[in-house]
Amino acid sequence: MRLAFSLSGHRPSRSAVASAVAAEEAGFDEVWVTEDYVERGAFALAGAIAQATSSVQVGIGVVNPWTRHPVVLAMEFATLDELSGGRALAGLGASNERWMTGQLGIPFDRPLSRLAESVDVVRRLLSGEHVRHSGPAYTVDAALSFHPLRPDLPIVLGVKGPRALDLAARTADGVLLSILAGPDYVREVRSRVGPSVRLAGYVGLSVDDDATAARDRIRPMVAQFLGIHGDHLITRSAGLSPSLCADFRAGLVAGVPRVDLVTDDLLDRLVAAGTPSEVTAAFDRFAAAGLDVAVVRDDPGVDPADILMIINLLGRGHDTEG
């Protein structure tokens, strides 16, 4: 199983680039840059990381088809691939109504249809085609003015529901699974998309010689995202009942995430938390479930020295061929 490090848009830009360099030096295979509104922009950071590194793949994980037209996305992805010498990974997702409509005032209609249309246009532009397209969401009559370094630049979809996963299986080279996608959910997704689709997933991580301290540190994040996911295939795969999902959602809405409901057993089903040996065993469970790439999630609230310790622990110990 390959290892990737995901950089949060909350981290200051220079610190993010330094963390990416540290990840490469520690043996990580990929660095992913997230983009949530209104944090630091993914493409500027990815370009800086591409210049500061030499071997890691640089992924955008993920951007949406609402705030960037597919022609703009193709232009950005092709430029990043050129800048990195063929190391870019193009991550796309449908976003969500809270961000698009609630924050930006953009009508959030037919998100999967829009995502599928965007993927089609982006892929055709990256292949060098002059695209003439008239669809429900976009009208295009354009071609890139330069030859993309790789006409088959990998496109990865950040999706999680059954219909979205089916779309990824048909149109994408890979899937980037949401945080808290535990081994049971990974198995469900693998059976749905088949063996040829590259499965990457954000893995919640907390390492400490004191297992209790490691677990306590990650409980708030787990409670928060269980509230975000609600009653979903991700949570059902981990054995959460609809009533428990409702409790996590209610806590999130009330501004008091239900950390008290995050048991050790639940952590074992969703994240990698504990001593170094326990974390290694957890990563083995993800690999056995069919995960190709474990994406370690950045936490800008954690001391950079601790992040570096985690990077070195995992970077030295993993098998990039697995």
Terminal-to-terminal C-alpha distance of the chain: 4
178-205 pLDDT tens trace: 999 999 999 999 999 999 999 999 999 8
Q: Which pLDDT score, from 0 to 100, does residue 322 have?
A: 46
Phi, psi angles (nearest 5°) of residue 212: -65, -40
Backbone angles phi, psi at 57, to 5 degrees: -75, 145
Q: How high is the pLDDT of residue 321?
A: 44
Residues with Cβ within 8 Å of residue 14, at least 6 apart in sequence: none
Predicted confidence band at 276 (pLDDT cuts at 50, 70, 90)?
confident
Is beta strand 155-157 parallel, antiparallel or unpaired with respect to 198-203? Answer: unpaired
Tell if the pTM clears 0.75, that is, is over it.
Answer: yes
**Contact residues for 1 (Cβ-Cβ < 8 A; gap 6+):** 283, 286, 287, 291, 292, 293, 294, 318, 319, 322
Asked if residue 28 has pLDDT above 80, the reply is: yes
Residue 301 CB partners (closer than 8 Å, separation 6+): none
User: Could you tell me the domains of the chain?
Assistant: 2-210+274-314 (3.20.20.30)
